[in-house]
Amino acid sequence: MDEVVKAAAGVSGTETARFKVLNDKEPRTTGEYVLWWPTECPRVQWNDTYELAKSIAVQADLPIICLYAIDLAFYSMGSIRHINFLLEGLVELKKSVESSNQSRLFLRFEPVGSGAALSVVGSEDLSFSGFGEKAYAVVTDAVYMPRSSKILASAAENLDCPLVSVESSVVIPIRKITTDGQVPDQSAFLESWMDICTDFVKPRKSVKLTRSVPSSMEKLDCGCVFGSRDREWYPGDWLQESDRLKEVLNENGVDSEVSAVTSAYRGGESGGRKLLGIFVTRKLDAYGYASENYGETKRGEYGSLLSPYLNFGFMSPSEVISRSMESGAKGHSLDTFLEKLALRDFAYVRSALEPNYGSYEAIKESERDAIEQIKAKDEDRTYPDEEWAHAQTHDNVWNGIQRELLLRGRNILNDRNIWCYKIIDIEKSSRNAFRLARKLNDKYMLDAIGPVGIFALLGCFESYAGYRMSIVGGGEG
Ligand SMILES: Cc1cc2nc3c(=O)[nH]c(=O)nc-3n(C[C@H](O)[C@H](O)[C@H](O)COP(=O)(O)OP(=O)(O)OC[C@H]3O[C@@H](n4cnc5c(N)ncnc54)[C@H](O)[C@@H]3O)c2cc1C
């Protein structure tokens, strides 16, 4: 298979370091299509995974179909807020991939407890076949979180055709910027990243498909469905049938009580591109000064506001950089903005390579000790998770920030660092504070449940002792 993929990558212009064949299966000679299985990057532009999938389809003279399988166990860390944002983007993706009858998009929900890509590989126990069973090859996104890595490994083993993964979430592929699978020091990483990033932000070629989807493939009786009427449902149907959506989410442990976000954010690549346009024309020139002076506050005024779009893969960070450079911005503002995207890539590297990333133990030991020493002198206090979630602590500043988060799905008026520092301040146990901060961030922040949120929380915990020193002169609270 390696040769087939290399030839296809040559045509699509996909760098060798960006893709990997995850098993040693031969392409299925009777395959009816190439399966594009986006898990991290459901977009059609600036998408190496999609371009490589199309290129393999052209080489094999086959059509391409797209399966989006929503892993409900993963979203049980988030809420209906994330599912709605994702479905909005999938409505747009469906329109784009199906234009000119080029492809078909199918949507499935993977139930909690399945722990595997059931809709791709199929399930004998549940008597349904997988979309991968008639595929010549399956092309998917590289993943960075432990749960997703396990699912990908199990799909690679259980599929009887090649599974190819492509790094489309990051600017520079991990293999290109790390050695021996080790996480580099952050400053060294940022320096090398800034040196070579321009090599990775060239516009992607759009591979032209040569075969359209035959009418026999318009409906495929594959994958996991909860009820027979769900089989024919597409993203727009689920958004419209919100009671049925809530029922499925409740049955699978995804909180459906969280309110929809009260803002203009709608999922999908066109929404992201609109924000990017506003950012490069109106905000980027002043970004360096503003981000240094306002930090996490007033993001709405100076930031791109792209984090949910980058996190859900509706926007490519390479496109963001390319447009920023084309805008004519340079100097301090451009460098400061690029550094933010470099930090984002670094979060992905850490998530992929550090076994305990996301746990309390991922905080540097010296900083954990420093927090624990400070907290030993603090009042013995805790609140139940629900009181935290509903902004019912004694601290009105924290409650105010949390209320903004409940309404908007992000804190753009307030300082996200303060939101996190105050959780550590209030809770006696710093381990519990970390669990809570992660839980609240993941459930309510629209840009959460990904490597960057964890990275930011680790940053807050690692700078907490310094913060405490600055406000109470040594932490004698
Ligand atoms: C407690 C706390 C929780 C956070 N949780 C998340 C989260 O769940 N998801 C998330 O994407 N960001 C998180 N951040 C980081 C940061 O607040 C957001 O990335 C930022 O608010 C996004 O706004 P923007 O898109 O306008 O960013 P811009 O200033 O326009 O930056 C562009 C992009 O760079 C990346 N970026 C920016 N700052 C950082 C950073 N410090 N570290 C890594 N990448 C960065 C983001 O992808 C961002 O969209 C958190 C920060 C804190 C303090």
Distance (angstroms) between ligand 1 centre and the Cα of 299 equals 9
Q: Which CATH superfamily is domain 2-170+231-240 in?
A: HUPs (3.40.50.620)
- Sorting pLDDT into bands at 50, 70 and 90, what band is 315? very high
What are the Cα distances from residue 320, in Å, to 21, 97, 306, 308, 338?
28, 22, 9, 13, 9
Rounded CA-CA distance 85/82 in Å is 5
Q: Residue for token digits 């133990």?
A: 361
Q: Supply the pTM of this predicted model.
A: 0.96
Closest residue by Cα to residue 384 from 337, 426, 446: 426
Pocket-testing residue among 190, 292, 307, ligand 1, by greatest number of atoms within 8 A of Cβ: 307
Distances 294 to 121, 184, 399, 462, 466 between C-alpha atoms, Å: 49, 29, 21, 20, 18
Q: Is 350 in the pocket of ligand 1 (CB under 6 A)?
A: no
- Rounded-to-integer distance, Cα 287 and Cα 279, Å: 9
Number of C-alpha atoms within 13 angstroms, CB side, residue 116?
Answer: 14
Atom of ligand 1 nearest to the CA of 300: 26
Question: If DSSP codes are grouped into helix, strand and coil, which group holds residue 105?
Answer: strand
pLDDT at 115: 72
CA distance 380 to 30: 66
Domain boundaries, the chain: 2-170+231-240, 360-472
What pLDDT does 24 receive?
A: 95
Per-residue pLDDT tens over the stretch 228-283: 777 778 999 999 999 999 999 999 999 999 988 866 789 999 999 999 999 999 99
Do the strands 163-166 and 103-110 form a parallel or antiparallel pair, or are they unpaired?
unpaired
- Using left for φ > 0, alpha for ψ between -120 and 50, and beta otherwise, residue 125 falls in alpha
Helices (H), 185-233: 186-196
For tokens 């359209």, what's the residue?
212
Residue 476 has pLDDT above 60, yes or no: no
**Is 324 touching ligand 1 by the criterion CB < 6 Å?**
no
| Structural contact between residues 440 and 389, judged by C-beta atoms closer than 8 angstroms | yes
Strand partners, 84: none
Domain 360-472 is found in CATH 3.40.630.30 = no
pLDDT over 70 at 199, yes or no: yes
d(CA 307, ligand 1 centre) in Å: 6
Q: Say which residue the tokens 């990243």 belong to.
A: 193
Q: How far does the centroid of ligand 1 lie from the alpha carbon of residue 11, in Å?
A: 35
Answer yes or no: is the C-beta of 452 below 6 A from any ligand 1 atom.
yes
CB count within 10 Å of CB 474 equals: 10
Ligand 1 contacts CB of residue 49 (under 6 A): no
Q: CB atoms < 10 A from the CB of 127, how many?
A: 7
By residue count, the chain amounts to 477
441-475 pLDDT, tens digit per residue, is 999 999 999 999 999 999 999 999 999 999 876 44
Cβ partners under 8 Å of residue 428, min gap 6:
375, 378, 379, 380, 381, 382
Mean pLDDT across 45-60: 97
